[in-house]
Amino acid sequence: MTKDAILASIRRGLKRGPLPADQRAMLDGRLATHPRHLIPARSRVPRPEQVALFIRNVEKEFGSVDRVADAAEIPGAVAEYLAAQNLEPRFVMAPNPELQALPWADKPMLTFEARRAEATDTVSVQHGYAAIAETGTLMLPSDPARPTTLNILAETEIVILRTSRIHGAYEEAWDTLRRERTDPVSGGFMPRNVMLVTGPSRSADIEQTLELGAHGPRRLHIILLDDAPAALPAA
């Protein structure tokens, strides 16, 4: 059912017709020019400092970060992380064209399947859509090339993220999602689900003892691809 059909059904239930042109214009204007909330000053910094802030906040929330200068280095970074954690070199990966195009054959010890995660999977590799520096948070919208199950079922999640996709504040990340999901390429639809992930899953509900992996991955590792020169610290 289309959006127009759903709205028409609601109007029939409310016994009202389409909005008058002036009211519709007023509502469209409010949506297009909604006022900004206050944005914390800590996120209003130059790009290198935003990236550094993001990394600090990820590590503060029990996550870990690695940085690579070239996409060809990503398979090696994945292999090194799995070895350092004493994990098998096997994982399930998002069926994302950008991830599938990486030179995985350079690391033949790695085996993977591109699909949704299942309860028996121990490691997932996800494609990072965007991130927010002020809290060290990943923005992971659902779509066929970025299954939500990868963020929930595996004990270890590895997220591949471009530094150019790190935003200072939440508002900027949502602006990017709205802009990119309303163009003809995406079909004009927002995702059904957007997960905001800050560090690995954890809980201190029982006796105030912190337990990692309470409701999802107990490890969150982010591999940052430095694709934006402005994100690099000065030499």
Is 17 domain-assigned?
Answer: no
Domain coverage including residue 88? 39-201+212-227
Structural domain contains residue 137: yes
CATH number of the domain bearing residue 48: 3.40.50.10420
Q: What is the pTM of this model?
A: 0.82
- β-pair type (219-225, 64-68): parallel
Q: Where are the beta strands (DSSP E) in the chain?
A: 64-68, 90-93, 111-114, 123-127, 130-132, 137-141, 156-162, 166-167, 194-197, 202-203, 211-212, 219-225
pLDDT of residue 106: 96
Residue 73 forms part of a structural domain? yes
Which of 2-11, 114-123, 198-207, 226-235 is modeled with the greatest confidence? 114-123
The structure tokens listed for 214 are 């309470």
> What average pLDDT does the segment 94-102 reach?
96
- 109-155 pLDDT, tens digit per residue, is 999 999 999 999 999 999 999 999 999 999 999 989 999 999 999 99
Give the pLDDT band (50/70/90) at residue 72: very high
Task: Examine the pLDDT at 235 and tell me if it is beyond 50.
Answer: no
- Burial zone of 191 (CB within 10 Å; 0-12 exposed, 13-18 middle, 19+ buried): middle
Q: Is residue 50 part of a domain?
A: yes
Decide if 7 is inside a domain. no
Residue 153 belongs to what H/E stretch? Answer: none
The total domain count for the chain is: 1
In a domain, 64, yes or no: yes
* 232 within domain boundaries: no
8-46: pLDDT as tens digits: 788 788 877 777 888 888 888 887 777 777 888 888 899
Does a structural domain hold residue 84?
yes
- Rounded-to-integer distance, Cα 131 and Cα 129, Å: 7
- Note the pLDDT tens digit of each residue in 190-201: 888 999 999 887
